[in-house]
Structure 1
Amino acid sequence: MTATDDAPISWPPAIPPAPTYLDDRLKHWAAATPDAEAMTYLGRTWTWAQWYDRVQRAAGGLRDLGVARGDVVSFLDKNHPACVEVSLAAGSIGAANAIINWRSAGDEIDYAVNDSGAKVLFVGTELMPTIEEIRDRLPHVERIITVTPEGDEGDEYEQFLADATPVDDGPDVLEDDVCLIMYSSGTTGRPKGIQLTHRNMVAHTVNAHDGWGFDPGDKSMVAMPLFHVGGSSYVLFGIHDGVPSVMTREADGASLAGAILAGANRTFLVPAVLAQVLHSGEDAIKLFSHLKTYTYGAAPMPPPLLRAAMAAWPDTDFIQVYGLTEVGGVATHLMPEDHRTAAAEGHPERLLSAGKPIPGVEVRIVDPALLTDLPTGEHGEIWLRTDQLMKGFLNKPEATAEVITDDGWFRTGDMGHIDADGYVYVSDRLKDMIITGGENVYSPEVERVLSEHPAVLEVAVIGVPDEKWGEAVKAVVALEEGTEASEVELIEWCRERLAHFKAPKSIDIIPALPRNPTGKILKRSLRAPYWEGQQRQV
């Protein structure tokens, strides 16, 4: 299917009504510019009218399967427009899509699908072997529908759409109904389902869009994984503005290059991608110079890498963003003019900042022990208040109460300060989250797996600097007396039980872990040698 070129598309298009629900802008563009290109993926292209029809059919198909307001469906695959379609369709009838990290191990998928209570599970054919292994452990799942990358003959999802009758939005859907559930590691070492509502996602799309937009002929490249808030939130930007999106199945070099050659010129990616491109030779650097906007975040950007990228692509607008899944994505941004003028105006340190709060987001720096506001420049916990803030953690009211105050402030667990000019600096974390290549790894989750090895007496997992990924997962273990285990053996043990990005890249085996007088392991002491001299601690 291809977009037609019968009529020129005027620009800028008429300003559409402010959206209320996740699918409002898709519905608008399907009526206003029905034949314009909306989404391209692996050689297939859909117009706005065609794409909206698919969403309406998905909604009708879900209703036929008994999915109703308050229910949950789940999606497990690499990037695929079907995931976005299911999210929009489920939201339109008051249900939610729980998007599962396709890199997860079987036990992790088992936990997330069961925790979400999903009635219908959409699965990429590549991942069906994992689901077949755990099928008997998914009692809530009433129907599994497979999805192929190319939509070939026999694709169950395409047949699911073809058999369905399109339906309009449910009349009883509310702004505060949950439409997305994103899984992120939690304090127990098990993932937490972050419930995001229509109000949250619409507010994020509008607020985070501040300061930049699209020009005639622009295309948005959606390359971040959709199980990550940076993918499922970012894809809404193109839908919001009515410009075409080019989605890649993965964020590998060949796929990104193909998207740029297809006209994509604005994107959001993790810093590790910049490093890969800069080390790929002149042809790759020249190709990526076609990007008008490179928004980066979800992991630390090493200052030398940022300076090299800005030198390589002087005409590209760089935007840094800081945020969390719990607030739908972005909370602060460092805009292109800040990148360009930081050194010229005598503020090179601003390239280390996360910029200023986006509209609709309030920021405080709070003493984490006394819970009192700290003066400008002092280091404390970053608190946020915004309409973007999640409804709460699924099935975990106590965990929700720990991070959301009675007056609506969200305790991020991130430490930092705000300077006199209002720039936010994120330095380290209260919670032991490791961000590696844009993926969140919570140390108790890895520690739980390592502690199950028969030779491991005690373990601490930390994040250490990594030039490519920002941080790498490292474990420090002490072994049971009289036992033996090698670094290779322990890493392989983790890889068999966790997604590979969560498994330690290195393991130190020492006689005993350092502890304070109360017996608590001193992770800060373990981290210190690796982070000494680093400009950022996160």
Structure 2
Amino acid sequence: MDMIGKKNLGGYFEELALTHKNKTAIICEDVECRTTSLSYVQLNEQINQTANLLTHMGLKKGDKVIIHLCNSIEYIVNFIAIAKIGAISVPVNANYVYADTLFMVEKTKPTLVITNSKFVHIYDDMIENNFTFKNGIMLVDNCSCNHTQYQKEFVKYSVNFENNDIDNLDTAEIVFTSGTSSFPKGVEITHYNLIFAGFYTSWQGNFNNNDICLTAMPLWHIDAQCTMMMPAFSRGATFVLIEKYSAHKFWDQVLFYKATITECIPKMICTLMAQPIKDNEKKHNLKEMFFYLNINNKDMNEFLDRFNIPSCLNSYGMTETIVGLIGDRPDEKRRFPSIGKLGFCYEAKILDSEGNELLSNKSGEICIKGEIGKTIFKGYFDNKDATNKVLSKDGWLRTGDIGYFDDDEYFYFVDRNINLIKVAGENVSSVEVETFISSHDKIFEVAVIGIPDKFNNELIKACVVLKDKEEMTKDDVVQYCLSGLAKFKVPSIVQFYSYLPKTCTGKVRKNILRSDHLKENLK
């Protein structure tokens, strides 16, 4: 049975308002610790007012809209309002500069930009360079300029809006991948995808309408949308959105809002562990914490023990799969560092380099089958070649990730295929080497990459960030590796960094580390 039916996002939020009425839907805390909140009825009414405003501005079905904002209620309201019209959101990483944003603008040709006074200069510069945005630029904060002032305008419009001309397989947003290995690709995500994510992840995490679901992850990334926002709304829970992650504030926010569900990436865990211990840090209401790759067992156990986390849910997914389709299941035994078991609505298999299906305990490419536009993405925007390369017509997706499953059907992640390092005929997992090196007490984080070598195919390079006030030599790192890794897995090159370049979700941009190394060694 299809649990979504013909629901689209606009109709779905109308239903949520009718069901949950005056219950608090969302609380947002900005960087100044100021909070705003809306009930389910208020949220839907503001969505409708905004949809009427955008329609008055000339926005129509199929138009693309840049959303360049930090986490905020205005982000969510405009995102759903755009979908309600049948237009398509194009979320922009708030850390992007002109060149990054220009790529997305040239690719999608948006008719409208929704941003604020902090980022508007990027689009004013584009207009100076002869770009046009047919429906203009709208600012969500008060600013003395010639652009549309959202806060002044949306309140003038009706709280009722109806548009039945939207199929739930229509594209709701185009999310550009982080581009850790090449130029970003625009992943088309449908109304159905987003509603399904709410149902799926709320099942996976045992969400209920009494939950308080808190995240500091950015809304321009699929994770915040599909791991916290949509699941919280799907159960009539309260969604707490933090504008920006702060290591010294985050746990206080978990405590203050009495969060029952939250999520952490490895970067957050490392920075939280570096904070001074507080007497009340174990006195929280958490029942579940979503977690994503990669961290070693030692660091994970220390984190769980220090903060008294009762349950940590590991899962595996990507923008193209919408949700963590392989993951720990509710009320089932967990086997960390396993990424869990296959969830409902999906199939999975492991293929070797020749395309042959492998049995248990054999590493190969993880391949996933779902329903296109429903449980997996619709395709890459304006890029049929890239779509056809990874997605078959019957819904099999080649992830480019290497993994295996054990005899009990628990899956394990080995590495990104692109990050496997080929050393003198041996395949070395960068994740394995990173996990071992990061277990050293003096090391804050590490990224391991392959460097071309005419004799060995590739050499292993460890890019190491030390903890504050700690000291190590390159030889110290090598000797530590020799104590626990096969010799061919030990880095030939060690370089110390003050920080590693990352995407908004904390993934190390290894392509930058590789290119920087090659540039430095060509001098």
2:412 matched residue in structure 1? 425
Q: Does 1:407 align with 2:380?
A: no
Give the C-alpha shift of residue 382 in structure 1: 0.5
Separation in structure 1 between the aligned mates of residue 237 and residue 514 of structure 2, nearest angstrom: 40
Give the C-alpha shift of residue 270 in structure 1: 0.9
1:271 aligned to 261, 266, 269, which one?
266
Contact 2:18–2:41 under 8 Å retained in 1: yes
- Per-residue CA shift, 1:76-129, capped at 9, x if unaligned? 121112222122112122221111111122101111123122211111322223
> Quick one: which amino acid aligns to residue 366 of structure 2?
I
- Per-residue CA shift, 1:396-415, capped at 9, x if unaligned? 11111001013210100001
Change (3 A) 1:141 1:473: farther
Separation in structure 2 between the aligned mates of residue 255 and residue 385 of structure 1, nearest angstrom: 40
Contact 1:472–1:505 under 8 Å retained in 2: no
> Quick one: which amino acid aligns to residue 342 of structure 2?
P
1:378 aligned to 355, 362, 387, which one?
362
Change (3 A) 1:217 1:505: farther
1:246 matched residue in structure 2? 240
Give the C-alpha shift of residue 172 in structure 1: 1.3
Change (3 A) 1:18 1:219: farther
Give the C-alpha shift of residue 279 in structure 1: 2.2
> Quick one: which amino acid aligns to residue 371 of structure 1?
G
Separation in structure 2 between the aligned mates of residue 133 and residue 510 of structure 1, nearest angstrom: 31
Separation in structure 1 between the aligned mates of residue 269 and residue 132 of structure 2, nearest angstrom: 42
2:322 aligned to 324, 328, 336, which one?
328
2:346 aligned to 361, 365, 370, which one?
361
1:352 aligns to what SS in structure 2?
coil
Separation in structure 2 between the aligned mates of residue 228 and residue 129 of structure 1, nearest angstrom: 23
Q: Does 1:36 align with 2:23?
A: yes
2:97 matched residue in structure 1? 105
Change (3 A) 1:94 1:508: closer
Q: How many residue pairs are counted as aligned between the two chains?
A: 442
2:418 aligns to what SS in structure 1?
coil
1:82 aligns to what SS in structure 2?
helix
1:81 matched residue in structure 2? 73
Separation in structure 2 between the aligned mates of residue 80 and residue 105 of structure 1, nearest angstrom: 20
Contact 1:204–1:330 under 8 Å retained in 2: no
Separation in structure 2 between the aligned mates of residue 129 and residue 426 of structure 1, nearest angstrom: 42
Contact 1:90–1:97 under 8 Å retained in 2: yes
Contact 2:197–2:230 under 8 Å retained in 1: no
2:287 aligned to 264, 288, 292, which one?
292
Give the C-alpha shift of residue 37 in structure 1: 1.0
TM-score by length of 2: 0.75
Structure 2 gaps of 5+ residues are 30-34, 422-429, 454-496
Contact 2:282–2:306 under 8 Å retained in 1: no
2:302 matched residue in structure 1? 308
Contact 1:272–1:469 under 8 Å retained in 2: no
Change (3 A) 1:266 1:469: farther
Change (3 A) 1:309 1:336: farther
Change (3 A) 1:60 1:310: same
> Quick one: which amino acid aligns to residue 258 of structure 1?
Q
Separation in structure 1 between the aligned mates of residue 279 and residue 380 of structure 2, nearest angstrom: 41
Change (3 A) 1:272 1:117: same
Separation in structure 2 between the aligned mates of residue 314 and residue 80 of structure 1, nearest angstrom: 30
2:152 matched residue in structure 1? 159
Separation in structure 2 between the aligned mates of residue 508 and residue 17 of structure 1, nearest angstrom: 49
1:134 aligned to 126, 140, 143, which one?
126
- Per-residue CA shift, 1:263-308, capped at 9, x if unaligned? 32311221221222222122187157432211111x4122212111
Change (3 A) 1:64 1:327: same
Contact 2:329–2:340 under 8 Å retained in 1: yes
Contact 1:268–1:294 under 8 Å retained in 2: yes
Give the C-alpha shift of residue 180 in structure 1: 1.6
Separation in structure 2 between the aligned mates of residue 255 and residue 214 of structure 1, nearest angstrom: 25
User: Identity of counterpart residues, as a percentage?
Assistant: 20
Separation in structure 1 between the aligned mates of residue 283 and residue 141 of structure 2, nearest angstrom: 29
Contact 1:365–1:374 under 8 Å retained in 2: yes
1:221 aligned to 214, 218, 240, which one?
214
1:281 aligned to 276, 281, 305, which one?
276
RMSD: 3.5
1:485 matched residue in structure 2? none
Q: Which moved more, 1:208-217 or 1:166-175?
A: 208-217
1:274 aligns to what SS in structure 2?
helix
Q: Does 1:26 align with 2:13?
A: yes
Separation in structure 1 between the aligned mates of residue 73 and residue 203 of structure 2, nearest angstrom: 25
Contact 2:205–2:330 under 8 Å retained in 1: no
Contact 1:121–1:141 under 8 Å retained in 2: yes
Q: Which moved more, 1:24-33 or 1:229-238?
A: 24-33
1:258 aligned to 247, 253, 257, which one?
253
Give the C-alpha shift of residue 148 in structure 1: 3.1
2:278 aligns to what SS in structure 1?
helix
Change (3 A) 1:149 1:424: farther
Q: Does 1:198 align with 2:183?
A: no
> Quick one: which amino acid aligns to residue 280 of structure 1?
Q
Alignment of 1:167-206 (within 5 A): 167-186=160-179, 189-206=182-199
Contact 1:56–1:89 under 8 Å retained in 2: yes
> Quick one: which amino acid aligns to residue 360 of structure 1?
C
2:470 matched residue in structure 1? none
Q: Which moved more, 1:462-471 or 1:66-75?
A: 462-471
